[in-house]
Amino acid sequence: MPLDDRKKKILYAVITDYIMTAEPIGSRTIAKKYNIGLSSATIRNEMADLEEMGYLEQPHTSAGRIPSDKGYRFYVDSILRSYINNDSPISYNTREEIIAEFDEIVKKYAKILANITHHTTVAKMPRLNPDRIKRIQLIPVASNKIIFLVVTDTGIVKNHLLNLCQNVDRNVFEFLNNLLNDKISGKSEKDIFEFLEQDLRQMLGEMAFIADELINTILMSLKQLQETDIYADGTSHILDFPEYKDLSKAKNFFNLLENKLLLNEVLEPEVDFIDVRIGSENKFEEMKDLSVIKTTYKINGRVVGTIGIIGPTRMDYKKLISEINVMTKELSNLLSSIYNDEI
């Protein structure tokens, strides 16, 4: 049965108050604090109906009501239906970014989001597919140190600092750059690893003295770049919520954040917009008392990663949805301006 306007107003009032106080809400509180225009007795009857319909719960017989996961879902869906405010007053002074490694930019934005929301944020970095390598470059920074730089066809930049056991002349790096780009760029994963493991040593000729170290280092770097990285920030914010004053509950939350495989699945994008999973809607038992607000960030319209906010089901959904939306749009715009086909 659809909710009429009266029930909607009461449900929104209960959720709004519970988000602020973390205390069950009674009908007298609703009547006094919210301009609904109904008597306490009428509100009490409506709240009983909302409980029967599954939108509210009563934790104790004599206590007021609190929102159920179903109640939160109705509330969040109404926000998402009416929401996309491109003229949000929220502004982030982060445009002074310089060209940097992709992951560091995403981590900075996740950190800012954690600081302004006072929630735990998690970010999923993109996995690098070898067959999407546009260019690689060995940049000498010293006679025995080089930066191994990889640029994908979307413009994403990844780099590793490599330390070599022997000094190598800079002219060698120019030769290697040309050779590697000719043999690796745009090739399949199988062809890339086959070339590095079987053919490169022979092609280096008299420079083969650096082959073993260089091959092993490049192979290790490529394999690391293929691994999905999960970054978390603001983990201690969970302790600010009354629900997590219980040490065992807090410990379970921190253990959850260490489970990279689980977080990788949680952050897997299912829709190309803001996605909210509330309590029991999460498929993992470890997430049943938590809500996740996640959305993707992009480069020139192409999804490259995900950022999420994790917290108790009693969270300010409207505020957090607005902030993650603005932040990921800003991040996408910045990444698109930095990592483009001209790199």
Nearest to 264 by CA among 294, 297, 298, 240: 294
Number of folded domains in the chain? Answer: 3
Does residue 162 fall inside a structural domain? yes
Question: Is the domain of 234 the same as that of 324?
Answer: yes
d(CA 11, CA 7): 6
pLDDT in tens, 241-253: 998 988 888 999 9
Question: Is the domain of 115 the same as that of 243?
Answer: yes
The pair of structure tokens assigned to 282 is 């999460």
282 pLDDT above the threshold of 60: yes
Provide the pLDDT for residue 95.
42
Question: At 96, is the pLDDT very low, low, confident or very high (cuts 50, 70, 90)?
Answer: very low
Cα distances (angstroms) measured from residue 28 to each of 14, 32, 321: 11, 6, 30
List alpha helices for 5-164, DSSP H.
5-21, 27-33, 40-52, 69-82, 102-117
Which domain-ending residue is among 67, 90, 109? 67
Question: Is the separation of the CB atoms in 66 and 312 below 8 Å?
Answer: no
d(CA 67, CA 64): 10
- Is the Cα torsion angle 96, 100, 106, 112 positive or negative in sign? negative
pLDDT in tens, 103-156: 888 999 999 999 999 999 999 987 655 556 777 777 777 777 777 777 766 556
Count, in order, helices (H) and strands (E) of the chain: 12, 10
Can you give the C-alpha Rg of the chain in angstroms? 26
Does residue 190 fall inside a structural domain? yes
Does residue 150 fall inside a structural domain? yes
Question: Is the domain of 318 the same as that of 219?
Answer: no
Provide the pLDDT for residue 335.
84
Question: Is the domain of 176 the same as that of 234?
Answer: no
Question: Is the domain of 188 the same as that of 237?
Answer: no
Question: Is the domain of 110 the same as that of 52?
Answer: no
Of these ranges, 49-53, 81-85, 199-203, the one predicted with the greatest mean pLDDT is: 49-53
Local structure of residue 116 (DSSP, 8 states): H
Question: At 89, is the pLDDT very low, low, confident or very high (cuts 50, 70, 90)?
Answer: very low
Question: Is the separation of the CB atoms in 97 and 293 below 8 Å?
Answer: no
Q: Which residue has the higher pLDDT, 78 or 159?
A: 78
d(CA 110, CA 150): 23
Question: Is the domain of 255 the same as that of 210?
Answer: no
Question: Is the domain of 334 the same as that of 190?
Answer: no
Q: What is the mean pLDDT of the chain?
A: 82
What is the model's pTM? Answer: 0.71
Q: CATH number, domain at 258?
A: 3.30.450.40
The pair of structure tokens assigned to 6 is 């009266």
Question: Is the domain of 333 the same as that of 233?
Answer: yes
Percent over 70 (pLDDT), the chain: 80
Which domain-ending residue is among 226, 244, 269? 226
Question: Is the domain of 304 the same as that of 276?
Answer: yes
Question: Is the domain of 117 the same as that of 250?
Answer: yes
Question: Is the domain of 211 the same as that of 171?
Answer: yes
176 pLDDT above the threshold of 70: yes
Domain residues for the domain of 163 are 130-226
